[in-house]
Structures are given as structure tokens and as C-alpha cells.
Amino acid sequence: MNILIYKIVLGITVLLFFLPKKWIYSFALLLIISMCVITSWWAGSVLFGSEMQPLAFIQLAGNSIYLEIDKLSAFFIIIINFTVLTGIFYTKGYLKPYAEKKSKTEFAIHYFNFVWLHFSMLLVSMIRDGLSFLIVWELMSISSFFLVLFESEKKETIKIGLNYLIQMHIGLVLIMSGFLLAYFQSNASLGFEGVASFFSQHQPFLVFFLFFLGFGIKAGFIPIHTWLPHAHPAAPSHVSGVMSGVMVKLGIYGIIRVALLLKTDQLLIGEIIIIISILTGVFGILNASIHRDFKKMLAYCTIENIGIIGIGIGLFLVGEGLNNIPIMIIGLSGALLHTLNHSLFKSLLFYAAGSVYQQTHTRDMENLGGLIHQMPQTASLFLIGSLAIGGLPPLNGFISEFIIYNGLIDCLRQPGLVHSTLMMVALASIALIGGLSLLTFTKTFGTVFLGNPRKKLNHTPKEVELSMRIPQYIIVAFILCIGLFPQLFFIQLLDIVIGIVPAIKHTDVIAFYPMLDLIGIVGFYATIFLLLIIVVYFLRKLLTQQKIAVRKSTWGCGYVAPAVNMQYTGKSFSKSLSKLLNFIVLERKVYHEIEITTVFPTERSYQSHYLDFFEKTFLKPITNRLLYSMNYFVFIQNGKTHFYVLYGLLFILVIFLSTLFHLI
């Protein structure tokens, strides 16, 4: 019965195009809630002990396509549903300013694609058949492509959208190649079962890394990440939150799903993944620390956190290769928990950034400042997200990174110089990532919310409406729950890991009782710390409520005429870091240096922006060469009708001659 209701919900999405404009949002909300209820019911029953039989979904090419939900699928279904729900609630207030600019059809297209993005992401996590998986993977890419193009009147948005779509199709080709290669060499089914059969009979490297590259494009591993820093800033903030919060995680889902099928060479593959993940995490946070577009900064932070999750996946495979079950459990559970944590604090940060953008109409933090006075709740929400993504207690980011740290330390004790060196480098890298993350968000929060406005805006910003704040407060509640009661979530993750890794038994969890106690202690002290903050806050409020607050200028070191442009900017905050690492953090400046002989320099301008190392060094030269080569064929499309008629006649002649001489 549930599967029938699910099909009906999907079928009536087309009604969005026929409803009055004022009903479109409500109907889309109803559709998404319906899908969340049905699929969360399925996922919940699997997570809490029931085995779910495959559900017959559709007939494709004469074969029945089934929805199969195991504990890994159920985990991702819950994350998808939660993030999409917060996104659709946030959308109502965020899109209000566009009500007069956008037509009914444009709104219908947007919500239709939002619903189908939700639907396709759910199906990706439930389908095992290869052809069907590729179809729903493509549906996910196309629906997200149209969501990125919401502001299609901007030429730059069209360019970004096409770049995104092309890279998604490259990923699709790589995934399809992995399925086909496994299918033809194993004589098994076209799907994940065929991949498992292939891995049991052949060397896994080629097929596994075809999948890793294909799924890695979606996830954002370097050097195949270049769509992400462009698409996230161009998309509306609720779309950015969903894309960063869960859509890129389906790349992680695919990598985990394939990694679970490996039968040999897990140690070497795991170490390669750890190396790629270290480079991804460090590269992501380095670029985040220097960018002044706060949505692009958040996009690079997504790349950074994908690197941390990748370290957990690599750790799981290393543990499997060493036949060390504790390392396997810690690696996979840490990766899954950080996947959940990142979906929470990254969607929160994108929603808060969207609130700032809605009120200021700029993403350039150099044009902002002092917003904490006009938007105090948004400032508090962004600060909580910043602390969480920085891995600070008592919030959730600390817990998952703490688990991965423990896994790396346990793995460090294993014999082998190369192996131990890699684990030490991974530990140092996560520490470096954490430090740079604090620098990044100190810069961003300080520049955007503290100080004085750096430029006069067209109108005075104010706090966004309640419908945009409620989803963020719900996310904060979950962030605090994981930070304060981590053992409850870790126990559930242990159950998921046991359910998806046949080699791990319930008896193996006994070895984790000391770690459960340690995580419980972390949660206890985090609770004490939070209560202490609350007590200090209310004591201060009680002691100062009778006093008159007076606002005065900050002491200016004897300078009596301070100006707004004397404040630290985002660029000046990270300038030392960017100069130190200018071989990887590439800056393009437009500025004529003052010559030594110049006594009275004239007024001059200064512009600078940062370039992505991989995009500039590798991708741009390739695309420029392709465009240059295509110019040789411009004469074919010359705009002359008689040439086009001639092309048709030539085509008919080629077909006729090929048939005559039995060439086709």
C-alpha cells in the first residue's frame, strides 16, 4: 500500500504546473512531507531491527525494478528527508522577494525540480539495479541543474549551470563504465551484485577507481571538484543547503556502497583514499580561508569536510585489509557520523548565509560589517554553525572528528614504517584543517557580523522572517543533541555498521565499551561546559540589569578620526596565509605598482581575486584548447540556408551508398 501511495505522490507532481501561483509552494510542501513520511517509515523500520523485503517499483525493459533498503540506505534516507524538509520550510521566506520578479511557470519549474531532486536522491539510495541506478542518478543531476539555474537571467549562472551539467555527465560515464566493465567480465547482473561478483574474481583497481572517480565528482574530491565552488554560490541558498548537505553525500554513499563489495587489496586502496582525502581536506580549507564570497567559502568548506569523511572511509578499508575489526568499525562509524554532522552544520551555514544575502543582496563580505546589530539571531545561528564546523565542543563536529582521530591513533600502532607515517600525516592534516577552519570562520564572522558597515547598502538589513529561522533552530537542536549525548548516536551507528559489514559481529562491539564510556565522558563534560556558559550568561544579565548601558567609541590608540575603511577586511585577515602558500593559493591582481622614482603618486585602483589551482592549471588549458580547435569547424554553421540543404543531401547520399555497398 505504501509503495502505491509513493507512486501516486510522484505522479501528481505534474499538477504543480496547473495550480494557481499562491498554491504552488503548499502543494510542493505536501508532496515532500508525504515522501518523507513514507520513506522515513521504511527507513525507521529497518534501522530499528526489521528486515524489509524488496518492494516492486516499476517495470523497465521487461524486468522488475525493486527498492531495497538496508541499514546504509536507511541512514542516508533519514539524512535526505531531514535536510530536504528544512530546505522546503526555509524556501517559503527566502523566495518571497522573487514573487513579483518570477512568473508562475518559473516557480512551478523550480518546485517541480525540488520535489524531483528529493525523489531521485531517495531512489539513488534504494536501487541496486545498474541501469535504473544510472537513470535516477541522471534525474538527480538534471533536477539539480535546473535548480542551479533559478536566476537564469544572469549569463554567468547559465555558464555555471552548463559547467555543472557537463561534469555530472562525465561522472555518469565513469560510473556506467564501472558497471559495464564488471558486467562483461563477470557474466553477472548489471548492477551492484555484478560488481561484487567481479571483485570476487578479478583485481579490483580499475573498476573501483572508475566508481571512485564517478562518485568522487559528485562528492567533490580533488582534482574533480571544480563544479562545486561555482554551482553552490550561483544556486539559491536553500538549494545550496540541500546540495551541500545531502546531494554531494550521495557520492559518499556510492563510494561506501562499492567499498563494501571489495574482496581483495583493501589495504592499498584504503591508503590511496586516505592520501587523496588528506589533499582534498587541506586544499579545501586553504581555499576557503582566502575567499571573500561567503557562499564560495562555504563551498570550499564542503570539499574540506568531504576530505575528512574520505579519511574515515580509507581508515575502514585499511582496517579491513589488516583484518582489524576495531579500526574498521571506528573508520566507518566516524565517516557516517561526520556525514550526518556535515549535513546539519553545512545546511545551517548556507541558510544563515542566504538570510544575509536576502537582506544585503551581496555575497562579498568586504561590503558588509556590523550585521550582528540588525540580524542578531542570524548572527548567533551562523556562529553556532561556525563553531560546529570548526570541530569545537560542545557541538557535533567535535564528536565525529574525535572518533576519526581515535581510529588514526589506533591504526598508528600497527606495524610498518610507511603505514605509520601515513597515519601521522593524516593526524597532522586533520589538526591543520581544524586550525585553518577556525581562522576561516573567525575571518568570516568578524568581517560580516562585527565592526561597522564597510559600505552603505541600498536599504537597512533586518532580521529575516520566522519561517526562515525555525528550520535553522531545529538544526541547532540536533547539533546540540549529538554534541551533548554522543553515545546514543554512536550506539546506533555501531548497529548500522554491524548490519552492513558481514565480517563484524555483535560480539565485536564488546571491545568498544571503553570507547563508549570515553564518548559518554566527552558528552558529560560538554553538557557541564554548556550549562556553565548559560549560568554565566544569566548571572551577568542579573547583575547588569539595573545598570544603564552606554555605548561609546572604542579607544583608537590616540587617533581621533577613525574611518570605516581602517577596519580589517577579509583579505587582510588571510593575506599572510595566502602569501605564504602562493604556489597553491593563486591570486590574480590588477594593480600597477608605484615606481621608486614617483614622488607624488596619482589615484589608482586595486583589484584581486583568487583562482582554483586545479581549474587554472589543468582544466582551463584543456577547455581553451578544445574551444580553439572547435573554431576550425565554425564554417559548418555559417547561417546560409543552401548549405544546410546541401548537408541534408550529402547525408542522404552517404546513407544510400552505404546501403548499396552493404556497409550498413
Q: What is the mean pLDDT of the chain?
A: 85
Residues 6+ apart with CB under 8 A from 235: 147, 148, 150, 243
Residue 656 pLDDT greater than 80, yes or no? no
- Return the percentage of the chain with pLDDT > 70, whole number: 94
Dihedral over alpha carbons 271, 272, 275, 278 (to 10 degrees)? -90
Amino acid at 301: C
Residue 473: the pLDDT is 95
pLDDT tens-digit readout, 295-348: 999 999 999 999 999 999 999 999 888 888 888 889 999 999 999 999 999 999
Q: How far apart are CA 111 and CA 623, in angstroms?
A: 33
The H-assigned helical ranges of 70-154 are: 71-94, 104-124, 130-148
pLDDT of residue 122: 93
Q: Render pLDDT for 613-632 as a digit per residue (tens, 0 to 9).
A: 777 777 778 777 777 776 76
- Residue 456 backbone phi and psi in degrees, to 5: -80, 125
Check whether 87 has a pLDDT greater than 90.
yes
pLDDT for position 115: 92
End-to-end Cα distance, the chain: 50
Asked if residue 43 lies in contact with residue 74, where contact means CB atoms within 8 angstroms, the answer is yes
Q: Is the pLDDT of residue 97 over 90?
A: no
- Residue by residue, DSSP assigns 609-657 as EEE-HHIIIIIHHHHHHHHHHHGGGGGGS-S-HHHHHHHHHHHHHHHHH
Task: Read off the pLDDT of each residue in 526-551 and give the average, rounded to a whole number.
Answer: 85
| pLDDT tens sequence across 458-513 | 888 889 999 899 999 999 999 999 999 998 888 888 888 888 888 777 666 666 66
What are 272-291's pLDDT values in tens digits? 999 999 999 999 999 998 88
Least confident of 10-19, 139-148, 371-380, 388-397: 10-19
Q: What angle do CA 388, 390, 394 make, to 5 degrees?
A: 45
Element (H, E) at 384: helix 376-389
Question: Residue 193 is placed in which grid cell?
Answer: 551484485
| pLDDT(1) > 60 | no
d(CA 350, CA 299): 9
In this model, does residue 411 exceed pLDDT 70? yes
Stretch among 94-98, 389-393, 640-644 having the lowest mean pLDDT: 640-644
The torsion defined by the Cα of 445, 450, 452 and 457, in degrees rounded to 10, comes to 50
What pLDDT is recorded for position 474? 95
pTM exceeds cut of 0.85: yes
Q: What is the pLDDT of residues 175-198, one digit of tens each?
A: 999 999 988 887 777 888 888 888
21 pLDDT above the threshold of 80: yes
What residues does each domain of the chain span? Answer: 265-543
Does residue 378 have a pLDDT over 90?
yes
User: pLDDT, tens digit, for every residue of 422-441?
Assistant: 889 999 999 999 999 999 99
What is the bridge-based pairing of β-strands 607-611 and 63-67? unpaired
Which range is least confidently modeled, 80-94, 394-408, 487-501, 644-658?
A: 644-658
pLDDT at 561 over 90: no
Q: How many Å apart are CA 107 and CA 104, to the nearest integer?
A: 5
Q: What are the E-state strand segments in 108-261? A: none
**AA letter at 430:** I
The CA distance from 232 to 344, in Å, is: 16
Q: pLDDT per residue over 109-149, tens digit each?
A: 999 999 999 999 999 999 888 888 998 999 999 999 999 98
Query: Cα(387)–Cα(285) distance, rounded to whole angstroms?
Result: 15
pLDDT tens digits for 205-236?
899 999 999 999 999 898 888 888 888 888 89
Q: Which set of grid coordinates corresponds to residue 538?
A: 544569566
Cα-flanking dihedrals φ and ψ of residue 603, to 5°?
Answer: -65, 140
